[in-house]
Structures are given as C-alpha cells and as structure tokens.
Amino acid sequence: MLDKYNKKRDFNKTKEPVGKKEKSSNRLRYSLQHHLARKDHYDLRLEWKGIMLSFAVPKGPSFNPKDKRLAVKVEDHPLSYRNFEGTIPKGEYGGGKVMLFDKGYYDALNDFNQGLKKGVLKFDIKGERIKGKWSLVRFKEDNWLLIKEEDKYVNSDNINNYNTSIKTGRTMEEITLNKKKTKPRTSIKEGIVTGIKITNPDKVIFKNPKVTKLDIAMYYHKVAKKMLPLIKNRLISTIRMPDGYGGEKFFKKHLEENPYLGKVNIPNESGKKENYYYIKDEQGLIYEVQMNSFEFHIWGSKIMDINHPDMMVFDLDPDENLSLKKVQDGVKDLKKTLDEFDLKASIKTSGGKGYHIIVPITQKITWKKFRSIAKNIAEVMEVRYPDKYTANMRMKEREGKIFIDWVRNTKSATSVAPYSLRLKDKPTLSIPISWNKLDEISPKTFTIKDYLKD
Ligand code: ATP
Ligand code: MN
C-alpha cells in the first residue's frame, strides 16, 4: 500500500522516511501536518492497518460544524511520517516545508473497512490542539468533506491562531532557517543550557534593550536553582510570544504534552476534565522556553494536594498616578494587618505596577475558605484605610487608591511565578526581595539584563 508513496519520492534527495509497512499499535495514532508546498494546506493522517490514511485539507480543519472542508484523499503514508517535520527540497514531490501541527490518537467510531468502501469515516480525535468527533464523507472519487460533529469541542477558534510546531515550538520561518544552516551553530552558552536544543537562539524577543531567545534560556538556567523550589509541582499557565517583540502574545492554560512536563487530568471550572501541566525540573523549564513560553504563572496549590492551597498572593495594584512611596506604604500597611492575623508574609516585585505579598498557608483549608480569608483581609484593609485601599476590582473604585487584588486566590487562578520574566514593555522580572530592601526597590527595578551580565 506504500508503493505509490515510495514511487513519488527520491529518498536520496528528501529526508522524508522511506515507506515501510509497520505493525499497528494498540492505540490508533493521528497527526496533522501543516504543509507549505505549491499550495498551503494541512495533511490529516489517521493510522489504519500499519499505514497512515492521508487527506490533504486545503483550508485545514474547522471547529465549526457548519464548515465543510474539502479533504482530498492522497496516497497512504508510512506510520513514521506522522512525526516528520522539516523541509522537502524544491522540485521534489511536495517540495516546501512541513510543520507538525498536532498529534495524538483517535478512536474509530465506525468500521473503517466498510467506511473506506462506502465513503464515510467517523472518528474521535484525541490530539493536543484538535479534539472531539469528526467525519470524513466522500462525495466524488478522492474528494471528501471533513466535518466537525456537534460535541463539547465545537468552538470559534481558528487553526490560523497557531503558528508553531507542537513538537519543536518552531515557526515555519525557523524550520527554514534550520535547514539553511550547514552546521548547527553551538556556542559555549548553548552547551550550558542542559540537553535541550534552543532553536533560533538569536531571535529578538525584546528590542530595547536587546534580549534574544537564548538570553532568556540562559536567564532561566541561571535562576533555576532558586526558582524551581518555588514553582515545581504547581500547575502552570504560560505566556508565549513566538514571534518576539511586536508579535502576538498567547496566554496558555493548557500546554502541549511533552516528555519533560508533568501532567494531571482534572476538572476545570465548569467541571469538564482537562489536562494541566507542571514543571518538575530545569529541563521542563528550559523546554517551555524553547516552546516560546517566556512568562510563567502558577497555581496556589501543589499537585500532591491540589485541593488544599498553600500560597496566598495579594497584588497591590495602584491607580496610575499614585506615587511609588504610597505603594510601598501600602505593602507595609498590609504587612501590619497580616501580622495581626499571625500570617507571615514575604514580598516580590511584580515587574509591572506593584508588589506581590505572598503568604504561606500551612493549615489544610479548602479553596472556598482560602478565598474568603483572602477577601476578608483585603476588606479589613479597606475598612481601616478607606481613602487609601479598595478591595473592589472595579476601575471606578480604584481612583486615587490601591486595589488590594485578592481575587487570584481561587482554584485554577494563577499569579506570576517568582523569577519569571514579564512580557511587558521592558524585560522586567518578578523577584523576591527582603523587607528591608522595599524602599530601595521599585516593581520594575530588576530586568533580565541584571542577570545576564556574567
Ligand atoms: P502588574 O503589577 O503589572 O499588575 P500582575 O502580575 O499583578 O502585574 P497581570 O499580569 O495583569 O498583573 O496579571 C493579573 C492576573 O491575571 C494574574 O493572576 C495572572 O496570573 C492572570 N492572568 C494574566 N493574563 C491572563 C490571561 N490572559 N488569562 C487569564 N489570567 C491571566
Ligand atoms: Mn498587578
């Protein structure tokens, strides 16, 4: 069944795998590749009897059941093709670039032997970016329609919103650049950053001061020893900025599966089970940087005891025109209040407008109780100093005051991790500081440059 595949290709010229029939696994595998060839399209592949059934989908899948997307059945591909990413030489069959867009497994929902004859395939995709029920329906010869079926995965997302590889974090441009390099450029610096390859190390993430992707990897490598004890085993969200400065930012609550991250499958706010990820060690941290995650946000509990939060965070968010002195006084007033509750607090810069006050919670309490304690503390502040602080997040209430942000103290909410880089206008950091340094250090004092000097 792979004859057609092999005949079309010259394996002296292309790095695509030679077609050999392999044994099928227990679980049927699926992959979706973005293929920039003569025509931009996506290749949907479904494992079946030791090969990948393959369909070229010009517009790519749509999550909307009303969209019926043309899917042209093409020659069967070998199983190993599902992981292929790279360039195919110009002039060769399919010449261009292939990016691994999504991968995972699927369940067949009808008999595929019959379905291939009749022209109806129904399946449930368990990918990272693509999930749920889909059908392929033949209407003429090799022309089929790919249709999203009604289920909870119907949404208004657009696959064009993703422009990086699920496997390597690379954009199409980086896939090309990698190819052009005759020898991979490895510097001493790159050697230090564990075994993980940072692709496109020179990509500029901040322009002024100039900070590259490799700088960011180096930074996290340098602070890993201090940062990891504070963030590991906590579920994370990250902010990705794959195109660097001026490009789009993506807040990711659900990262993609990879060998370096830990994963838990737990209900989200609406009770639906979803995968959440956490960092276990430096490799996981650096790998996320490779995936263009440059800012890290963490939960208030650890995975070993997800339903008992152990870290409360108050964020002091000042109204725009408030002096720095007033913000620092606010931190001190909050400390006084916490002291009265016998709560020991520490502080860190936010890297943005304010400071974060962190309170370790040693007793086992529920998220509900935790939230109400946080709310009470903010309200005590408001009652004591009504002209200085508000516990109300509405902008109007904040005028001339500091909002004591307590609302992040709830299950599945996050706050920026200690030592995280901030993707704000400058490469500022969120850094723990001691109480006696508070008056000397502003929320934006520390930048990544301070750590990259030597
Ligand atoms: P600043 O000092 O500039 O206010 P900050 O860290 O206090 O910095 P934000 O970066 O605005 O403030 O984050 C506010 C809260 O919202 C944090 O708890 C953060 O984890 C969370 N957060 C940030 N971006 C998103 C997002 N896109 N979706 C959901 N939560 C987010
Ligand atoms: Mn804030």
Q: Which ligand is nearest to the CA of 316?
A: 2
Which H or E run contains 5?
helix 3-7
Alpha helices (runs of H) in 119-241, residue ranges in sequence order:
172-180, 188-192, 213-231
Query: pLDDT at residue 186 above 70?
Result: no
Token pair of 139 as six digits = 């209407």
Give CATH superfamily name and number for 311-410+424-452: DNA primase, PRIM domain (3.90.920.10)
Residue 214 region by backbone torsions, left for phi larger than 0, else alpha for psi between -120 and 50, else beta? alpha
Structure confidence by residue, pLDDT tens digits, 423-453: 999 999 999 999 999 999 999 999 999 999 8
Three-state SS at 22: coil
Query: pLDDT at residue 183 above 50?
Result: no
Three-state SS at 62: coil
Read out DSSP for 402-439?
Answer: EEEE-TT-STT--EEPTT-B--SSS-BB--EE-GGGGG
**pLDDT grade for 188, boundaries at 50, 70 and 90:** very low
Q: What are phi and psi of 45, to 5 degrees?
A: -130, 135
Structure confidence by residue, pLDDT tens digits, 43-81: 999 999 999 999 999 999 999 999 999 999 999 999 999
The pLDDT, as a whole number, for residue 182 is 40
What distance, in Å, lies between the first and last C-alpha atoms of the chain? 58
The pLDDT, as a whole number, for residue 191 is 53
Read out DSSP for 265-301?
Answer: EEE-TTS-EEEEEEE-SHHHHHHHHHTTEEEEEE-SS
Mean pLDDT (the chain) is 93
**pLDDT grade for 190, boundaries at 50, 70 and 90:** low
Cβ pair 284, 347 in contact under 8 A = no
Check residues 156 and 317 and name the one with the higher pLDDT.
317
Query: pLDDT at residue 181 above 50?
Result: no
Cβ pair 228, 194 in contact under 8 A = no
Q: Which ligand is nearest to the CA of 349?
A: 1
Q: Could you tell me the distance, in angstroms and rounded to a whole number, from the CA of residue 227 to the centre of ligand 2?
A: 20
Q: Could you tell me the distance, in angstroms and rounded to a whole number, from the CA of residue 335 to the centre of ligand 1?
A: 22
Query: pLDDT at residue 168 above 90?
Result: no
Q: Could you tell me the distance, in angstroms and rounded to a whole number, from the CA of residue 114 to the centre of ligand 1?
A: 52
Residues with CB under 5 A from ligand 2 (ion): 315, 317, 354
Range 385-409 average pLDDT: 93
Mutate to test the pocket of ligand 1, among 414, 419, 441 (most ligand atoms within 8 A of CB): 414
Sign of the torsion angle spanned by Cα atoms 330, 333, 338, 339: positive
Check residues 386 and 171 and name the one with the higher pLDDT.
386
The pLDDT, as a whole number, for residue 422 is 98
Structure confidence by residue, pLDDT tens digits, 33-50: 999 999 999 999 999 999
The pLDDT, as a whole number, for residue 185 is 46
Sign of the torsion angle spanned by Cα atoms 205, 206, 211, 217: negative
Range 189-218 average pLDDT: 86
Range 341-363 average pLDDT: 96
Q: How far apart are alpha carbons 183 and 122 in whole angstroms?
A: 45
Instruction: Using CA atoms of 191, 192, 193, 194 in order, give the dihedral in degrees to the nearest 10.
Output: 80
Query: pLDDT at residue 180 above 70?
Result: no
Q: How far apart are alpha carbons 290 and 273 in whole angstroms?
A: 27
Which residues sit with their C-beta closer than 6 Å to ligand 1?
A: 251, 297, 315, 317, 350, 352-354, 408, 414-416, 443
Q: What are phi and psi of 104, to 5 degrees?
A: 160, -140
Query: pLDDT at residue 410 above 80?
Result: yes
The pLDDT, as a whole number, for residue 50 is 93
Ligand 1 atom closest to Cα of 414? 20
Q: What percent of the chain has pLDDT over 70?
A: 96
Check residues 179 and 346 and name the one with the higher pLDDT.
346
Residue written as tokens 């250090």? Answer: 441
Q: Could you tell me the distance, in angstroms and rounded to a whole number, from the CA of residue 395 to the centre of ligand 1?
A: 15
The pLDDT, as a whole number, for residue 25 is 78
The pLDDT, as a whole number, for residue 189 is 57
Q: Could you tell me the distance, in angstroms and rounded to a whole number, from the CA of residue 220 to the centre of ligand 2?
A: 22
- Whether the domain at 182-305 and the domain at 311-410+424-452 fall into the same CATH topology: yes
Cβ pair 358, 347 in contact under 8 A = yes
Query: pLDDT at residue 192 above 70?
Result: no
Mutate to test the pocket of ligand 1, among 322, 416, 426, 442 (most ligand atoms within 8 A of CB): 416
Q: How far apart are alpha carbons 290 and 258 in whole angstroms?
A: 12
Q: Could you tell me the distance, in angstroms and rounded to a whole number, from the CA of residue 201 to the centre of ligand 2?
A: 31
**Nearest Cα to 11, choosing from 64, 80, 108?**
80
Three-state SS at 244: coil
Q: How far apart are alpha carbons 416 and 261 in whole angstroms?
A: 19
Q: How far apart are alpha carbons 176 and 382 in whole angstroms?
A: 56
Q: Which ligand is nearest to the CA of 269?
A: 1
**Nearest Cα to 16, choosing from 77, 81, 79?**
81
Ligand 1 atom closest to Cα of 351? 2
The β-bridge relationship of strands 389-390 and 402-405 is: parallel
**Nearest Cα to 286, choosing from 220, 330, 360?**
220
Range 211-226 average pLDDT: 96
Q: How far apart are alpha carbons 2 and 76 in whole angstroms?
A: 6
Mutate to test the pocket of ligand 1, among 315, 393, 407 (most ligand atoms within 8 A of CB): 315
Q: How far apart are alpha carbons 184 and 198 in whole angstroms?
A: 11
**182-305 belongs to CATH 3.30.70.270:** no
Sign of the torsion angle spanned by Cα atoms 73, 74, 75, 76: negative
Which residue's alpha carbon is nearest to atom 17 within ligand 1? 415
Token pair of 433 as six digits = 């500081």
**Domain boundaries of the chain, sorted by first residue:** 3-161, 182-305, 311-410+424-452
The pLDDT, as a whole number, for residue 22 is 87
Q: Could you tell me the distance, in angstroms and rounded to a whole number, from the CA of residue 252 to the centre of ligand 1?
A: 12
Check residues 257 and 219 and name the one with the higher pLDDT.
219
Helix, strand, coil % in the chain, rounded to nearest 5:
25, 30, 45
